[in-house]
């Protein structure tokens, strides 16, 4: 049975959009929260640690819509393991009635207009 789960999709265009709209001067430190400060770790390792420990599914996509990274919560929720998900097109995880909306939202996000919507994700076991 398909269910709705809290999920985050990371699309390269979204990251670029956020960087373009960051008002901090170049080279200034990123804002921190006491809950997520990981002193001494390079930024990419802090990002990785945060994504790996995030309790909700995180799917990183390339501009073609294929998964390039997923966190442990994504594998648990979807029922697929990492090797099955990486390279898969995101639409394969979306319940059929939601696929058109998901594809439209993805395309808009790639164009620099991030979207927020609720979709039903299908598990590997149906």
Residues 121/95, Cβ–Cβ less than 8 Å = yes
User: pLDDT for 58-91, tens place per residue?
Assistant: 888 888 999 988 999 999 989 999 999 999 999 9
Reported pTM: 0.66
Kind of pairing, strands 57-61 and 67-70?
antiparallel
Q: Determine the pLDDT at residue 7.
A: 53
Which is nearest to 6 in space by CA: 93, 119, 105?
A: 119
**Strand-by-strand arrangement of the 7-10 sheet:** 7-10, 57-61, 67-70
**How many whole angstroms separate alpha carbon 37 and alpha carbon 50?**
10
User: pLDDT for 91-103, tens place per residue?
Assistant: 999 999 999 999 9
Q: Determine the pLDDT at residue 32.
A: 43
Match 């990371």 to its residue by tokens.
Answer: 10
User: pLDDT for 21-64, tens place per residue?
Assistant: 444 455 554 444 433 444 555 667 777 777 788 888 888 888 89
Candidate ranges 9-18, 23-32, 73-82, 114-123; pick with highest mean pLDDT: 73-82
**How many whole angstroms separate alpha carbon 21 and alpha carbon 24?**
9
CA-to-CA dists, residue 91 to 74, 121, 122, angstroms: 15, 9, 10
Task: Considering only the C-alpha atoms of the chain, give the largest distance between any 2 of them, rounded to a whole number of Å.
Answer: 48
**How many whole angstroms separate alpha carbon 60 and alpha carbon 33?**
23
DSSP for 54-79 reads: -SSEEEEE-TTSBEEEE-HHHHHHHS
């Amino acid at each position: 049975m398909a269910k709705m789960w809290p999920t985050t999709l990371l699309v390269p265009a979204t990251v670029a959009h956020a960087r373009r709209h960051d008002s901090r001067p170049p080279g200034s430190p990123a804002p921190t929260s006491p809950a997520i400060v990981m002193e001494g770790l390079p930024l990419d390792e802090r990002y990785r640690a945060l994504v790996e420990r995030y309790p909700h599914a995180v799917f990183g996509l390339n501009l073609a819509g294929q998964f390039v990274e997923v966190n442990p919560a994504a594998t648990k929720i979807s029922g697929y393991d990492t090797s099955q998900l990486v390279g898969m097109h995101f639409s394969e995880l979306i319940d059929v009635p939601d696929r058109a909306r998901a594809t439209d939202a993805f395309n808009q996000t790639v164009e620099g207009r991030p979207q927020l919507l609720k979709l039903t994700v299908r598990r590997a076991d149906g």
